[in-house]
Chain A
Amino acid sequence: MAKSTVKKMLFILSKATIENVYAAFIMANGARMEGIEAEIFFTFFGLEAIQKKKLEHLHVATVGNPAMHIPTMLGGLPGMEAFATKMMKKEMEKLDMPPVGEFLEILSDSGVKLWACKLAIDMFHLEKEDLIDEIDDILTIGDFYSRANSDNTHLLFI
C-alpha cells in the first residue's frame, strides 16, 4: 500500500458559518482517518465554533450566498437563517454528521490539535473559560507557523 506523502494538515478557520466550520472539521477528521496529522487554528469569527455558549447556535448564511438560490431580500427576512439552518442540520443528521460540540470532542479524541488565536481572543474580550475544554492552547500566529515548520505540511485557510 502506498504511504501517504502528506504528513500534516493545518487548517485556519476564520468563519463561523456552518458550511465553513463543517468543511474544516470534516477535512481535519478525514486527515486523521488517513493517518495524517491535523490541527485547527480558530481565529476571528472561527472562534464562535469553540465558544461554549455559541457553538450550537451557528448558522448558514442566507444573505450574500448565491448558492442558496433564494432572493437576497427574502434571505434577510426574520427567521430565514434559522429556518435554512434547521433544514441543513436535518440533512446533516441523516448522514450521521455530529453536531458541532460532539464533533469537537471527536476531533480532540482523534488527536486533532485545537488552537485559539491570541489576537482574536483579545479583540473579542474572551477568556479561556469561554472556550471549550478541548482547546489545547491559545497561540500567536508565530506559534502556529512554527507548527507548520516540517516537511509535507499543508496550510489551508477557510
Chain B
Amino acid sequence: MENIKRNEEGYLNDFSQWTKEVGNEIAKEQEIEMSDLHWQVIDYLQGKYKGEEALSIRGIKKSGVINIKEFYDLFPGGPLKKSTMIAGIPKPKSCI
C-alpha cells in the first residue's frame, strides 16, 4: 500500500496501480466489508471508467447490477464517492 499514490482525498492517482488488495484496503478505511455484490459494483464502475462513460446515480439505476437502495446500503454515506475510491477511479464530477 505504501507505493500506491493517492490524492489528498484518498483517490488513486493512477488506475493502473489498482489491485483487488488495494480496493480491499481502501474499503477497510471506509469501514466497508466487501461482498460479492460490492465487487460486482466495482467491476461495473471500472468498466464505465475504461469506456470513458460518465457515472451518475441514474446510471446505477439502469446498470442491471444493483438498484439505488442497495447501492446506498452497500456504500453508506456517499455511495458513488466511496465506491469510486475503492474502484481506484477518479471521483465523479457530475452533479447528478
The answer to whether residues A109 and B69 also contact, given A1-B9, A34-B81 and a CB cut-off of 8 A, is: yes
**Per-position 1/0 for B1-31, Cβ under 8 A of A:** 0000000011000000000000000000000
* B79 interface residue per 8 A CB criterion: yes
* A119 interface residue per 8 A CB criterion: no
A-B CB contacts (within 8 Å), total count:
48
The answer to whether residues A29 and B67 also contact, given A96-B59, A98-B58, A111-B72 and a CB cut-off of 8 A, is: no
Would B96 and A97 count as touching, CB distance under 8 A?
yes
Among B67, B77, B79, B96, chain A packs the most CB atoms within 10 A around the CB of B96
- How far is B48's CA from A96's CA once the two chains are assembled, in angstroms? 15
- How far is B58's CA from A86's CA once the two chains are assembled, in angstroms? 21
Q: List 17 A-B contacts (CB under 8 A).
A: A1-B9, A26-B95, A29-B96, A30-B96, A32-B72, A33-B57, A35-B76, A35-B77, A96-B54, A96-B56, A97-B96, A102-B61, A105-B61, A106-B57, A109-B68, A109-B69, A110-B68
- Give 10 A-B pairs besides A34-B78, A97-B96, A109-B72 with Cβ atoms closer than 8 angstroms: A1-B9, A1-B10, A29-B96, A30-B95, A35-B81, A95-B96, A96-B94, A97-B58, A106-B68, A110-B57
